[in-house]
Amino acid sequence: MDSEDPNDGVQYHLELEPGDVDGPALLPGDPERVPVVAEQWDEAEEVAHHREYRTMRGRRAGSPVSCTSTGIGSPSAAIAVEELANVGAETMLRVGSCGAIQPEAEVGDLVITTGAVRQEGTSAEYVREEYPARAHDEVVTALVTAAERLGHDYHLGVTCSTDSFYAGQGRPGHDGFEAPDADERVAELQAAGVLNYEMEAAALLTLASVYGLRAGAVCTVYANRVTGEFRTEGESRAAEVASEAAVVLDHMDRAKAEAGVDHWHAGLSLDG
C-alpha cells in the first residue's frame, strides 16, 4: 500500500529519492539556470524535472555537487529545502540574482549573504520572528574563498528577503501603485547597512538552522536602486563561485575528518 507520508520514498514535488543528489545542493530559482550552473562542472547529468523543480548532479574538480531549481519565492524554495533534506542533502547554497540598495554594490558584483532580514512569510510558519536567519560560517568561508580564487568582486553582508518583487521591495506596481511607507522601508534598510533584496535566502537560512543543515547564498547584482542601473550582467559568476565553493566545502570536510574535529577552523588546511 502506498504511504500517505510525503517524506517517504520518492519526493512529491522534486521527484527525487535518496541517492539522487550528492554534495552541496546549489539552488537557483529558474529551472533554465540549472544547466547554466552545471556548465561550471566537469561532468553533469539530469536526474529529475517536475514543475519548477529541475535537478542535476555531477562533479567539479573531483568533488560532488548537485543543483535543484526552486522556483520564485520562499514558499516554493522551502519545499525544495524540505525534500532535498529528505533525500540526504546536508548543505544548500542559493545561487541567484538580486537588487542592491547600497551604492558600492555595482551591477555585476556578487553579494555573499551572512544573514537575512525575514521580510517574507514562509519562515514564520516554522519559528518565531526573532529567530535569526543566518548563513553557516563554513558556507560563508567557502563562498569567500571561491570568490577570491576566481577574482570576482563581492560584498559580504545582510540580505533582505521579501515575498513581493514589486511592493515588497519598494518598487511601483501596476498603474504606479506604491505600498504604504515603501520609500521609508527601503531607507530604513539602507541605513542599517542591508546590501540587497531577493526572495529566497531568509527562508533557506532559517529552515537550514532549524534542521541543523549548512546553508548560504550568493547572488549576482542585476540592479542597483541607488544608481538606477539595471543589466543582466555576470549571470554565470554566482554559479561559478557556488560551484567552486562546493569544492572548497568538500576539502573542508576532508580536513575535519582527518583532524577528527566537528568544525572547520583556520588552522586546518584547505588542500585536498
Q: C-alpha cell of 135?
A: 548563513
Q: Is 153 helix (H, G, I), strand (E, B) or coil?
A: coil
To the query of whether residue 57 is one of the catalytic residues in this protein, the response is no
Element (H, E) at 91: strand 91-100
Q: 83, 120, 138, 198: which one is catalytic?
A: 83
Q: 136, 214, 225, 251: which one is catalytic?
A: 225
Residues making up the chain, counted from first to last = 272
Q: Alpha helices of the chain — where are they, by DSSP H?
A: 34-38, 74-86, 137-150, 182-191, 201-211, 235-259
Query: How is residue 247 annotated by DSSP?
Result: H
The separation between the first and the last C-alpha atoms of the chain, rounded to the nearest angstrom, is 46
State the Cα torsion 211-214-217-218 to the nearest 10°: -170
To the query of whether residue 225 is one of the catalytic residues in this protein, the response is yes
Find cell 515575498 and name the residue: 163
Q: C-alpha cell of 44?
A: 553533469
Q: Alpha helices of 151-200 — where are they, by DSSP H?
A: 182-191
To the query of whether residue 59 is one of the catalytic residues in this protein, the response is no
Q: 152, 155, 171, 214: which one is catalytic?
A: 171
To the query of whether residue 254 is one of the catalytic residues in this protein, the response is no
Q: What is the DSSP string of 92-139?
A: EEEEEEEEE-STTS-TT-EEEEEEEEEESSTGGGTS-TTS-EE--HHH
Residues catalogued as catalytic: 13, 83, 171, 225
